[in-house]
Amino acid sequence: MDIAWKGIVGGIVTALIVALSKRGNVLPGILPLFPTFGLIALLVIGAKGEMSAFRETCVAGMKTIPAYIGFLVACYWAIGRFDFIAAVASGILAWLAITLLIFLGTGLLAGVK
């Protein structure tokens, strides 16, 4: 049942994005900024009762902000050159590349002193 309510929350946010897209283009762009999946992740980790794990999850989430910005920049750039599917795909590739650099790069740098 724990997983079911998390799926419901994600479904509600998705439905809101679709509904708001009929009223304009700004609100569907703002709504994903509400940390739906971050909220779910923090609730799951917080339920374990480990303050250090909760903080570690917060830091990991903060590290993804540059990757999210990279995703949006790549989509913005690509839509002038490709159809929207390819633009989103380029955004996903940018997000993945930046995320790997952030998480693997910091891991590699931690070993170099």
Average pLDDT over residues 71-82: 95
Contact 30, 64 (CB under 8 A): no
Encoded tokens for 95? 């997000």
Q: In this predicted model, what pLDDT tens digit does every residue of 82-93 receive, in sequence order?
A: 999 999 999 999
More confident residue, 61 or 107: 61
Average pLDDT over residues 3-15: 80
pLDDT confidence tier of residue 79, bands split at 50, 70 and 90:
very high
Average pLDDT, the chain: 85
Q: How far apart are CA 24 and CA 17, in angstroms?
A: 10
Average pLDDT over residues 48-68: 91
Is pLDDT of 30 > 80?
Answer: no
Q: How many CA atoms lie within 13 A of 24 on its CB side?
A: 5
